[in-house]
Amino acid sequence: MRVARLESEIDFDGWRTAARALRAEGVRPEAVVWTVERELFDQGLFPPHEGEGKAFGVPAAFVELARTVILHRSPERFALLYRILHRLERQPRLLDNPADTDVAKARDMAKGVGRAIHKMHAFVRFRRVEDVAPETPREQYVAWFEPAHRVTEAAAPFFARRFANMNWSILTPDACVHWDRAMLTMSAGADPADAPSQDAQEEMWRTYYASIFNPARLNPAMMKQEMPRRYWRNLPEAALIPDLIEKAQSRTETMVAAQPAKPSERVLKAALKHARGSYGEGNLTNLEEVAAGIQVCRRCDLWRDATQGVPGLGPARAALMIVGEQPGDQEDLQGVPFVGPAGQLLDRAMAQAGAPRDRVFVTNAVKHFKHEPRGKRRLHKTPDRGEVQACRWWLDAERRLVRPKVILALGATAVQAVFGKALPIGKTRGQRQALDGGELALVSWHPSFMLRIPDRDAKDRAYAELVTDLKQAWKLAG
Amino acid sequence: MAVLDLKRKLAILSDAAKYDASCASSGAEKRNSLGGKGVGSTEGMGICHAYAPDGRCISLLKILLTNFCIYDCAYCVNRVSSNVARARFSVKEVVDLTLNFYKRNYIEGLFLSSGVIRTGDYTMDEMVRVARSLRLDHDFRGYIHLKLIPEASPELAAEAGLYADRVSINVELPRDESLAVLAPEKDAAGIKKAMGRMRLHIEDRNEPVKAGRARPRRFASGQSTQLIVGADGARDGDILARSAALYGSYQLKRVYYSAFSPIPDGSARLPLSRPPLVREHRLYQADWLMRFYGFGQGEIVAPGEDLDLAVDPKTAWALRHRGDFPVDVNTADRETLLRTPGLGARGVDRILQARAQTRLTLDDVKRVCGSVKRAKPFIVTADWTPGAATDAEGLRAALVAPQQLSLF
Ligand code: SF4
């Protein structure tokens, strides 16, 4: 039997040196006893502590795992780690098998340690210490804490990052850690009496704790799972728990039983005033009314998942009106037509055609964005005939008010809305047609169509045709 | 008016905040107080500093600036027609409370909401002043979440985003129509517009910075919202469809579901019964499936229908698709494994890792997934096949019994 003695419970370097030597000698895991006790086994054989074990390769993940596992309070951790180390010689990929019993156990321990660190970050409660030297006031805080595993050192850097400009100490039975706004130092374990016994803020904190929970949702099992009892002793708020639980039921009952109060007349009147009236048919006398009406329109279902209706934009009396399909993602968010990728393409084409955007009325056949959520994105969906038909009401109002000489319809949906029927764009583009309202109409490709064509040449051709059509429309309107 | 002491105010204004489900303090940019003058850090993952007897985590000082409110939303305890005790914090009081609590390691930061007093802009301005003072006067580097007042001006909302890590606007009711009935002064379109603007702000901030220019200052890294479940007649399918639309439209980090809860002095316009808490739980599970497991909303539950309360949504889906099971854990691809009841994302990753070395047995699966109780009828391992169990008549019943949730 070999005895390996370590300097402390968390002496990772000592464990590593010993393990290295033992494995180099080929000592089997069953033949080693690990201990930190001074007196015990004084007669035993010690493996050499320095230098004699030859270094050998192990996966970096093992060193990391071992560093964590050693902080666990389980007495068998040293032996378990040595057993894994020993097995790694023949199974170098052992750690990649989370189903292995030893590996699973070590991971469980590591998880426990991680959890203990996390709980320490969460459950340390600092108490402020009165200034020792009032002439140089500085904030000094001390906490008493009992971690589930030996994690004081490992948990300390977090507090240094968070409370960099305070002086603080955390005292635990294993070890104490201190921060002086520059350096972390460790000292031997302490006693609860060494820490201050209260802090004026605790009364406020308890008030908050008691008020923030909803008695109608009482669920102590869930609470205990996340805030294990072993920590309660040092949590100032935990003393309230039994009473809060006990009274929760009756508090809920009182709430439910209380008769609803009658809202005052004044309040009801105000509410009615705020409720919106619907837009009146036929009494739209200007574009502002159209824009407002679109916001509350319920003629089809598209308003529901859209952010807002997007009315047309441009001079109230423009000679040219361009009609697109419907707002896209960006238009929907900004409430402005043709500002997304297709809009940018249209801007470019208009500039090239010499048709200034600010002198043209730009609008869409359908005023709300039709889409389908796909994960974190919204996929454009072409509006159906019913929706185009329903929304035509608004387009017609815009046409009536703007009274353009020329309407350029971009894409099939716009054609449907402007002409009331479908026309093949490839065949009809370039031809001017008279509309019932007396306007001239032209059709062309929708810029988003160009964004979707994969073929470079076809794309360039369609774009050039759009520019040509814009030019013609602008000339006719001129 | 009597002057309330700070403790009494804290009691009133935290009590009034307890119906808001959001509490998370995760997803902030990493930062610490080293080299600064103040206090605070965020490490990506938030920390729950305590748990309340309702099982919910406490990570933030969640309070209202005031519970006075000019509105009369039926589901809200602070509505103008309610008879609850009222209070109002000063900006400085909130700042001091936050710092005092933070320095004692009680909290990760502040979650500030408010009833609307005078006007939306006036109220929002007060809230922004709290955040500004924390950040600029006290160099506070902890977490700040501000609840936006939808009708406040876009400039104020933008400034809020300058100091807050997260902003949110509560949609409250899953159906816009019910908002009109239960909260007549609230404007569903206005809420959506405010969320849309916030998404544009957040995206703007994430644009790559031109060379030589300084990055614009800190800006909220995300927004979230809350839906109240069970106050109107909306079905789970409608609620999830709304969430899916909200996630896609506004890039929300989270949608919180809050089971409508009896409130003191409840309004006569509300339903008398409260939805079972397990419904909220199922909605979170379904939401999770949509966000992390690649399920489409329509696959989980159709609009107009409700989730099965007795089994979790993934199991319910599997029971409807028995033909796709059992799956062999030693050969199935990741997507398929993720759709198997009882196998979580972590467990699936471990299965994939382990099977590169070994043919997994049922015990192996148990070791990496924690339990195989639910998965067993749906999987094949090196030493196990469910045989006819996958198609058995009584399978659903067998899966219900052992995991009946007792949330109350
Ligand atoms: S798309 Fe048109 S018809 Fe449909 S709701 Fe919007 S404005 Fe009304």
A304/B303 Cα distance (integer angstroms)? 14
Q: Cα(A163)–Cα(A141) distance, rounded to whole angstroms?
A: 10
Residues on chain B touching A234 (C-beta within 8 angstroms): none
Which residue of B180, B195, B248 is in closest CB contact with A376? B248
Residues of A in contact with B61 (CB under 8 A): 208
Q: B368 and A104: CB-CB below 8 Å?
A: yes
Residue among A139, A208, A260 minimizing CB distance to B14: A208
pLDDT along chain A (478 residues), means of 10: 89 92 90 80 49 72 95 96 93 88 94 96 93 68 96 96 95 95 93 89 94 86 90 93 87 66 48 43 75 84 89 95 95 93 95 94 96 85 93 93 95 94 91 90 93 90 95 93
Q: Which atom of ligand 1 is nearest to the CA of A306?
A: 6
A337 half-sphere exposure, CB direction, 13 A CA radius = 25
Distance from CA of B393 to the nearest CA of A (A): 33
* Nearest-angstrom CA–CA distance, B126 and B147: 12
Q: Which residues contact A232 (CB under 8 A, 6 or more apart)?
A: A238, A241
Of B33, B100, B360, the CB nearest to A161: B33
Which runs of E-coded beta strand occur in B181-335? 222-229, 254-259, 327-328
Task: Locate B398 and state its tokens.
Answer: 């067998």
Residue whose CA is closest, atom 2 of ligand 1? A391
A82 CB near ligand 1 (under 6 Å): no
* Mean pLDDT within B259-282: 71
DSSP B376: G
- CA distances (Å), B212 to each of B207, B208, B219, in order? 14, 12, 20
Q: Which among B51, B202, B228 is the top mutation candidate for probing chain A, defined by the most A β-carbons within 10 Å of its own β-carbon?
A: B51
| Among A175, A86, A85, A172, CA closest to A124 | A172
Residue B280 to residues B60, B297, B304, B394, Cα–Cα distance (Å)? 22, 16, 17, 26
Q: Is B354 in contact with A158 (Cβ distance < 8 A)?
A: no
Distance A294 CA to ligand 1 centre (A): 7
pTM: 0.80
Write the DSSP symbol of residue B3.
P
Closest-CA residue to B191 (of B203, B204, B175): B175
SS (H, E, C) chain A: CEEEECCCCCCHHHHHHHHHHHHHCCCCHHHEEEECCCCCCCCCCCCCCCCCCCCCCCCHHHHHHHHHHCCCCCCCHHHHHHHHHHHHCCCCCHHHCCCCHHHHHHHHHHHHHHHHHHHHHHHCCCEEECCCCCCCCCCEEEEECCCCCCCHHHHHHHHHHHCCCCEEEEECCCEEEEECCCCEEEEECCCHHHCCCCCCHHHHHHHHHHHHCCHHHCCHHHHHHHCCHHHHHHCCCHHHHHHHHHHHHHHHHHHHHCCCCCCCHHHHHHHHHHCCCCCCCCCCCCHHHHHHHHHCCCCCHHHCCCCCCCCCECCCCCCEEEEECCCCHHHHHHCCCCCCHHHHHHHHHHHHHCCCHHHEEEEECCCCCCEEEECCEEEECCCCHHHHHHHHHHHHHHHHHHCCCEEEEEHHHHHHHHHCCCCCHHHHCCCCEECCCCCEEEEECCHHHHHHCCCHHHHHHHHHHHHHHHHHHHHHHC
Cβ–Cβ below 8 Å for B55 and A219 = yes
Instruction: Answer whether B192 sits within 8 Å of A308, measured CB to CB.
Output: yes
Higher per-residue confidence, B257 vs A280: B257
What does residue A322 show for φ and ψ, rounded to 5 degrees?
-110, 130
Split at pLDDT 50, 70, 90, the class of B406 is very low
CB A52 within 8 A of CB A21: yes
Is the CB of A302 inside a 6 Å radius of any atom of ligand 1? yes
The answer for residues whose C-beta is within 8 angstroms of residue B207's C-beta and 6 or more apart is none
At B3, is the pLDDT very low, low, confident or very high (cuts 50, 70, 90)?
Answer: low
Q: Cβ contact (<8 Å) for A207 and B41?
A: no
User: Of B276, B11, B52, B271, whose CA–CA distance to A256 is shortest?
Assistant: B271
Minimal Cα–Cα distance from B380 to chain A, Å? 16
Q: How far apart are CA A30 and CA B288, in angstroms?
A: 46
| Residue whose C-alpha is closest to residue B226's, from B172, B149, B287, B179 | B172
Would you say residue B270 has pLDDT above 80?
Answer: no
Q: Which residues of A touch B270 (CB under 8 A)?
A: 260
- In total, the C-beta contacts within 8 angstroms joining chain A to chain B are 256
**Under an 8 A CB cutoff, do A275 and B180 touch?**
yes
Token pair 């309660």 is at which residue? A232
Share of chain B above pLDDT 70, in %: 89
Amino acid at the residue A8: S
Q: How many CA atoms lie within 13 A of A88 on its CB side?
A: 21
pLDDT at A276: 39
Indicate the length of chain B as a whole number. Answer: 408
Q: How far is the CA of A391 from the centre of ligand 1 (A)?
A: 5
Q: In chain B, what residues touch A207 (CB-CB under 8 Å)? A: 7, 10-11, 14
pLDDT of residue B28: 76
Name residue, tokens 């009892």.
A229
Q: Whose CA is nearest to atom 6 of ligand 1?
A: A368
Q: How far is A217 from chain B (nearest CA, A)?
A: 5
Q: What distance in Å separates residue A219's CA from the closest CA in chain B?
A: 4
Interface touch A373/B58, C-beta < 8 Å: no
pLDDT at residue A253, as a whole number:
75
User: What's residue A147's pLDDT?
Assistant: 97
Contact B144, B168 (CB under 8 A): no
Amino acid letter, A31: A
A204: how many CB neighbours lie within 10 A of its CB?
19
Which of the given ranges, A155-159, B77-81, B350-354, has the highest pLDDT on average?
A155-159
Of B103, B200, B360, the CB nearest to A141: B103
User: How many CB atoms are located within 10 Å of the residue A272 CB?
Assistant: 9
Tell which residue, B52, B55, B46, B80, has the closest CA to residue B66. Answer: B80
Residues of chain B positioned with their CB less than 8 A from the CB of A96? 353-354, 356-357
- Indicate whether B225 pLDDT > 70: yes
Of A212, A248, A296, the CB nearest to B14: A212
Residue in A115, A214, A262, A303 to test binding to B, most B beta-carbons within 10 Å: A214
Nearest to A67 by CA among A7, A21, A11, A18: A11
Which structure tokens are listed for A93? 């990929």
CA distance A273 to A277: 9
